[in-house]
Amino acid sequence: MQTQKIVFTGGPGTGKSSTLNALHKQGFHCLKEISRQIITDAQAKGITQLFLKDPLLFSQKLLESRINQYKDAVKTTEKVCFFDRGIPEISAYMEYKNEFIPEEFIEANKKHPYDLIFIFPIWNDIYKSDNERYESLSEAIEIDKFIRKVYQDLGYQLIEVPKASVDQRAEFILNHINYAFSK
């Protein structure tokens, strides 16, 4: 049986990581967002925001790491693997910053397909910036538009996660997965 690869996506600060952590506590195989590690590594070298300083370098590091996560998910024997963000979001962020998207990024989007995409909508009540999340709420709203577009352009149907408690969101996702994979 092939592992079902499920992505949590959406603009910054929408509750993806919190929901992923809740599912991880329930024993599910979850792959955390890795851009924070790339950002903190760059900050340790004196670069406050690598994405803002060198979007292409940041994106290349992120692409390599997300492809490695994808390969790890393919190797697992778990029925389901949850990803905190997917490969196509790299292109979405580059489009948001009006950066040229190299062919390797476009090919990676096609070569590494996911089974389901859950999108977490912008939610003003829970949004906050932090040391790695530099975007304002208005920027997060714009980024969300680019993310939705890149996934839809790749042919994915986005499943919108309701604005609810973390536990309710996890339950919504698990109920949807049970329904989707029972067909």
How many domains, in total, are found in the chain?
1
As beta bridge partners, residue 84 has 8
Instruction: Tell me which residue range forms the domain holding 94.
Output: 4-182
> What is the CATH number for 57?
3.40.50.300
Confidence at residue 116, expressed as pLDDT on a 0 to 100 scale: 96
* More confident site: 43 or 172: 172
Q: What angle do CA 121, 132, 91 make, to 5 degrees?
A: 60
Instruction: Compare 178 and 179 and report the one with higher pLDDT.
Output: 178
Instruction: Give the per-residue pLDDT at 70.
Output: 95
pLDDT at 104 over 50: yes
Q: Which residues of 106-140 are buried (b: 16+ CB within 10 A; e: fewer)?
A: eebbeebebbbbbbbebbeeebeeeebeebeeeeb
